[in-house]
A and B are shown apart, each in its own frame.
Chain A
Amino acid sequence: MTSSPVSWLDPSAPWNEPVSEASAAEAGLAPSAVPIVSVMKAPAGIPELVALRSGRYVPLFGLGPTRDEGVRALANLAVALGEGADVRSVDHVLTLHQHPALKMAPLAHLADFVNKDIGEPVRAALAKIPLAYVGLLGASDSTRESVARVFAHCRPVHHEAQLALGMGGGDYSAWREHYALLCTQNDRASRVARAWFDWVLARRFSGLDALRDLLEEGELDGASLWLAETAFFVNGEDSSKERLVSLVDREMTGARKWLPRLFTFSARDLAESARMPMHLRWMHLRCSASRDHAAVSIRHWLAAATAQFDDDDGLDHKRALGPEPSRAGRAAMEARNAAGEFLLDWFVQDRAAREEVDAFARRIVRLYHRLRGALAFCEIETALKSANPPRSQAEKILWSQGEI
C-alpha cells in the first residue's frame, strides 16, 4: 500500500506552528516546553493540554492515510479507554479527530485514498477507523455526523457512514429527520435501526413487528441484535434485561483487552437504561397513549373510503364515480396532512414521559455506536497487526502492554 502525497505537510504542517508566548505563559510554561501531541498521554499533563488548545497536535490521519496513522488512532483509543485513563481522557482524545486549521481535510483525503482501491483490506480497515473512533468515544451527534459525512461516499464504509448519520438525533431532538435518512437505506442494519425508531420513538407497533421479522429473517450483526433487544426491553418482555447485558458483554469481549474503560462507560449507560423497566414501559406507553389515535384512524378510514372504486350503489346512473373524495373528505385529508407526520406520529404532548423516553433513546444510541465501534476496533486491529515486533510508541501501546 502506497500513500498519496499530503499537501498540508508541505512546507510545514500546521501543528508545527509555535505556541504564542501569552498562551504558554498563561499555563506557566515556556513556548518550547509545549510538545506536539501525536499520541495522547493519560492522564494528560499541562503541556499536553496547552498543546491541544493551541493546535499543536497531529489529527487523525494527519500524516496521511498510512498504516502507521491507523495504528496511532487505535493507540489513542487505547489511551482514552485504557486502564490509566482519567475522566477527561475521552474528551482529549476526541479533540484529535480533526485539526482547527485542516478541518476534515485529512479524513477526506483518506476517503479518496480508500475509494481508489477498495479491494485492499488494509485500506478498508483504515476507512473504518474514523467512524469507530468517534463511536467508541461517545461523540455528540454533530461530531459523529461531521465525520460520517466525509465517508458517506466511501464504498467500503458506505453503510456504516449512513448508520452513523441516521442513527442519532437525540442531541437536538431531531429524531424524525434522522429517521427520514434511515428510510433511504435498505441494508439490514439500517432496517433494524429504522424499525427501532418506529417503535421506541414514533411508538408504532408495526416497528416492533418489523424487528421480530428481521430477527427471523436471519443473522444480524451484534450491535443490531442488541438494538433490537432494547426495543423488546421497552416492550417489557421477560428476560430482556439479562439478554441486553449478556449481548453487550459478548460483543465487547474482543475489545476488552485494549479498552477496559469502555465497559465502565457501557455498564453505566446500561444500568441507567435498564434499572427501572416498568417505569420505562409506563413512560413509553404514556407517550403512545398521548398520540392522536383518532386522527390516525380517520386517515386509514379516509383511505379505505376513497379506495372503493367498485361503486355498487345500485343506481341507474351507470357512469363510474372517480376515486376523488368529496370536498369534505378532501378538507379532512388536507387538515391531516397539514398536521403532518410530525404532529401525528412524532410529537408527544406528555412532556415528562417524552423526556424520559428521549433520555433512554439517547443512551441507547450512544451505546449502540460504542458497540459498533468495539466490533470495528477488533476487525481493524486484526487487519493492522504486523508480524514484526512493535517499534513505534503507538504499536507498543497496542501490542506490548506494560512497556510504555
Chain B
Amino acid sequence: MRHSFGPVIGSPFEYGVMALEEARLTWSKGASPGILSRAARSFDEAARDGDDPDALVGAAVARALAGDLVNGARRLRETIEAYPEHASAYVALGVVLLRESDPLAHAQEAAWALCAAREMAPQVAFVERHLATALCASGQFMAALQSVRAALALDPDDVDARMWSALLRLYFGGDVSAATALIELAEESEELLRPPPVWLGAAAGLYAQGEFHEARIALRRSIAPMKIGNDYEQPFVDAARRWLREVRGFGAGVAMAPERWLHDVGGLQSDYARTRAALTALREACVREPEQASAQGLSPIDIEASLGEIEARTRRGMLDWAARLILRGFAEAYLPLCAYLEPPSYEAYAAMGLVLLQG
C-alpha cells in the first residue's frame, strides 16, 4: 500500500495509481482513452515484479473501469482465490460488480464479497455503505437497513448512506418523513458537486409527497447529462423513466399511508376489502346473537384477531413487495447512471488497498 498520491517514485505500482488518479480527475462519462490501459499495464508489471495482491487488484480494477467488467471481475475472483485473507480484493469485487450495467444480476455476489470484506475489515464506512447498496439491490432490505445504519454511525455526513437510508425508510418502513429527507439530500449533494443521478432519489421523495410535476423535473435533472438521441446513453434514460413509471403505477404517497391503502390493495371490490367487510359483518352478527354464535363456536374476539391478522399480514406483504419493486428498481436505474457519470472515489481506492487516505 502506498501513501497518498505523492511525487512519482518510479515503481510500476505508483505509475498505476497515478494513472488511476488521472482517470478519476479527467472522468467524463468514462476515462479518457489510454489512461486506464496505462494503469492496467503498470499494475500488471507491478504484479510480475513480486507477490503483490494490491497490484493484482489494481490491474483488475483498471480493466473494469475501462469497461471490461467481465475480465475485471474474473481477475478479482482469481485474486480472492489466491489471497483469501486479502480484504481489499473483496471490496474491489463488490465495487466492480455494482458498476455492472445490470447490477441486480450481480447484487448477490457483490453483497457476499462486501460481507466478507466487512468481516475482515470492520468499521469501514465505505464498505458498510456499499454493502447496504448491494443488499438493497438483492432484495434483503432488513439487512440493508442495518448496514446503512452502521455506515451512518461511522460517518453521519455520508450523503449516499443517508439517501439509501431514507429510501429504505420510505419504501420499506413506510416512514413518510423520509420523503423530505430525500429531497433535501439531492439539494445538499448538488452543493457538494455530486453528479446529478442523486436527483433520482429526490424524484422518489417528491412522488411520495404527491408532487408529480416536481418529481418529473427531478427525473429530468437526474438524467440531464445524457444527450438526446444518443443510442449508447438511451438505456440509462429508459431505466430511469421505467422506474418512475412503475412508481407511478403504485400511486402517490407512502406505500402504507391510510389514504393510499385502499387503492393499493385493489379498491373496494378487491377480495381483501370484501373479506374484511364480511368479517366485520360476521363479528357484528356475533355480538347481536351471542348465544347462537357461541353454540357454533364463534367469538367476536377470534374474528377481531383474524381481522388484525389479515391486515397486518397484507400490509407487511405489500411493503415487502413494494420495496422489492421500487427499491430494487431504483438500484437498477441509479447504480449504472452513477457508474457512468462518476468514477470511484478516493475512499473506494483506499478501501481497495491502493492508496491511504490522510486521516
Contacts and interface: CB of A to CB of B under 8 A. Distances in A.
Q: Report if A and B associate in a common complex.
A: yes
Interface of A: 203-205, 235-236, 276-279, 281-282, 285-286, 288-298, 300-302, 304-306, 308, 311, 313-317, 319, 321, 325-329, 331-332, 335
A110 to B, nearest CB: 45
Interface of B: 102, 104-105, 213, 216-217, 219-220, 223, 226, 228, 234, 237-239, 241-246, 248-250, 264-266, 269-272, 274-275, 278-279, 281-282, 285-286, 292-293, 296-298, 302-303, 306-307, 309-310, 313-318, 320-322, 324-326, 328-329, 331-333
A236 B325 contact: no
A294 B249 CA distance: 15
B306 A285 contact: yes
A336 to B, nearest CB: 9
24 contacts: A203-B271, A205-B274, A235-B278, A236-B278, A278-B285, A285-B275, A289-B279, A293-B272, A296-B271, A297-B264, A304-B249, A305-B245, A305-B248, A314-B213, A325-B242, A326-B246, A327-B105, A327-B332, A328-B243, A328-B325, A328-B332, A329-B329, A331-B328, A332-B325
A289 B242 contact: no
A294 B245 contact: no
Given A278-B293, A317-B234, 9 more contacts: A282-B303, A285-B278, A285-B279, A289-B279, A293-B270, A297-B266, A300-B266, A302-B246, A326-B243
Given A279-B298, A285-B278, A313 B219 contact: yes
A294 B325 contact: no
Nearest to A291: B271
A315 B219 contact: yes
A316 B237 CA distance: 11
B216 A329 contact: no
Nearest to B329: A328
A332 B321 contact: yes
A321 B271 contact: no
A247 to B, nearest CB: 23
A321 B242 contact: yes
A294 B271 contact: no
Contacts of A306: 246, 249
Nearest to A284: B278
A204 B270 CA distance: 9
Contacts of A279: 296-298
A260 B226 CA distance: 84
Contacts of B315: 294
Given A285-B278, A285-B282, A314 B216 contact: yes
A297 B265 contact: yes
Contact of A298 (B245, B318, B329): B318
Contact of B306 (A205, A286, A331): A286
Contacts of A294: 265, 313-318, 320-321
B321 to A, nearest CB: 4
A326 B296 contact: no
Contacts of A327: 102, 104-105, 328-329, 332
Nearest to A209: B269
B216 A204 contact: no
A300 B272 CA distance: 13
A238 to B, nearest CB: 11
A279 B316 CA distance: 28
A331 B138 CA distance: 11
A302 B241 CA distance: 16
A329 B249 CA distance: 11
A332 B219 contact: no
Contacts of A316: 220, 228
Contacts of A292: 317
A319 B227 CA distance: 13
Contacts of A298: 317-318, 321-322, 325
